[in-house]
Amino acid sequence: MSTNYPTIIPQTDPRAGYLAHKSEIDEAIARVLESGQYILGRETAAFEREVAAYFDVSHAIGVASGTNALEIALRACGIGLGDAVVTVSHTAVATVAAIELAGATPVFVDIDPKTFNIDPNSLGDAIKKHVSGLGATAKGRLKAIIPVHLYGNPADMPAVMDIAEAYDLYVIEDCAQAHGAAIQGHKVGGWGHMAAFSFYPTKNLGAFGDGGMVVTDDPELAERSRMLREYGWRERYVSSITGTNSRLDELQAAILRVKLHHLDVNNERRQALAQVYQTRLTGSDLTLPSERPACYHAYHLYVIRCKERDRLRLALREQGIDTGIHYPLPVHQQPAYAKRLDVPYPLTHTEQVSREVLSLPLYPELPLSDATRTADRIMAWYRDN
Ligand SMILES: *Cc1c(COP(=O)(O)O)cnc(C)c1O
């Protein structure tokens, strides 16, 4: 976007999350530096216990990124070469990259355009066809589903779990954007067989570097994940299986322990900001996010749909208001994937929404008045156009 206009309202601001809790974070950092233990020590172990308690799961394994968390979860389930994994194309490339890193082949299904999440009907149809060999061109034995809780909005997990059970598939939730989101009072991350979190700085629970977490209730999947993150070791220097190096470091773990304490309050702030947008933008031609019944939306992003998205975006930029596009190109249309990945089922909604989505400014420290101002500018633009 044009940089001629100074930013007055940023779309996101991870630095504000530091300044809001500066002394606590500085203290945590100093504690680690003084400890002399920088990789897989006390802080990581404590953070893993605290994360498991927060998400109400039995095991949490800290890893180096959300992408790694997905890859390790897949590999822990024994998924690799010759296997296929169903997911969506309207997601961060990371979801799909992880499937290929594990050696498996992605199979895409369409989204529900209202929730932006995997459409259980498309999912059921695609799996039925894939299993019977009809319509599906992707090679591989179907082993797992990765639903993504995009923008912090929980995917329809009861429906996904029913389908998975019918076809004996693993479910690995991609919770990278949904720390604290819940369905019927149960947090996402506890619905599938495994789940992956990212602590990329702008996520709802963000580090000041890279980080990720694998969670599960299954002790065997947990143990395999733990071994996979460090050279396949159960016992130090003895590789029982082939693993990798994907460790959460002590500095990030100590920082994340501080930030975990503030996650609920920060998610409430995100909800309050979303409410400002929801109220002020009602009555426009925009399609606003919808919350499903009995669900807690973590509002990682507040995403509207606008037919003239690019013009609106530029008009806001000219007034110093930054917005984002998550994501401008579905994964199956990205240059690296389009050339070689099969797309056996039409992804009509996926392709449509990528042309219309716009992420408005939203982060816990954003003043409500900035959300009000952004919404008012959008309504004014509509009146003038
Ligand atoms: C951020 C993100 C990831 C990957 O996380 P990294 O920590 O950046 O590797 C995976 N899936 C989704 C949906 C994400 O938003």
pLDDT digits (tens, 9 = 90+) for 198-227: 999 999 999 999 999 999 999 999 999 999
Nearest ligand 1 atom, CA 98 = 10
**Tokens for 215?**
């969670």
**Atom 14, ligand 1: residue with shortest CA distance:** 176
**Atom 10, ligand 1: residue with shortest CA distance:** 94
The per-residue pLDDT for 221 is: 98
247 close to 346: Cβ distance less than 8 angstroms: no
Residue type, 359: S
Radius of gyration, CA atoms only, the chain: 21
- What is the Cα–Cα distance from 320 to 3, expressed in whole angstroms? 10
Nearest ligand 1 atom, CA 200 = 7
Mean pLDDT of 346-372: 97
Task: Say how many Å lie between the CA of residue 109 and the centre of ligand 1.
Answer: 19
CB 148 less than 6 A from any atom of ligand 1: yes
Which residues are CB-contacts of 309 (< 8 A; sequence separation ≥ 6)?
325, 355, 356, 357, 358
The per-residue pLDDT for 133 is: 75
- What is the Cα–Cα distance from 225 to 223, expressed in whole angstroms? 5
The mean pLDDT of the chain is: 95
- What is the Cα–Cα distance from 213 to 69, expressed in whole angstroms? 6
Work out whether strand 295-296 and strand 182-183 pair parallel, antiparallel, or are unpaired. Answer: antiparallel
**Atom 7, ligand 1: residue with shortest CA distance:** 66
**Tokens for 171?**
């479910």
Comparing 338 with 134, the larger pLDDT belongs to: 338
Task: Say how many Å lie between the CA of residue 57 and the centre of ligand 1.
Answer: 20
Please give the C-alpha separations between residue 346 and each of 89, 92, 100, 261, 341, in angstroms, as whole numbers: 11, 19, 21, 43, 13
Mean pLDDT of 136-151: 86
CB 177 less than 6 A from any atom of ligand 1: yes
Which residues are CB-contacts of 124 (< 8 A; sequence separation ≥ 6)?
163
Which residues are CB-contacts of 74 (< 8 A; sequence separation ≥ 6)?
80, 85, 98, 99, 102, 104, 144, 172
Task: Say how many Å lie between the CA of residue 169 and the centre of ligand 1.
Answer: 23
295 close to 159: Cβ distance less than 8 angstroms: no
pLDDT in tens, 255-292: 999 999 999 999 999 999 999 999 999 988 899 999 99
Task: Say how many Å lie between the CA of residue 284 and the centre of ligand 1.
Answer: 32
- What is the Cα–Cα distance from 282 to 379, expressed in whole angstroms? 9
CB 289 less than 6 A from any atom of ligand 1: no
What confidence tier does 341 reach under pLDDT thresholds 50, 70, 90? Answer: confident
CB 176 less than 6 A from any atom of ligand 1: yes
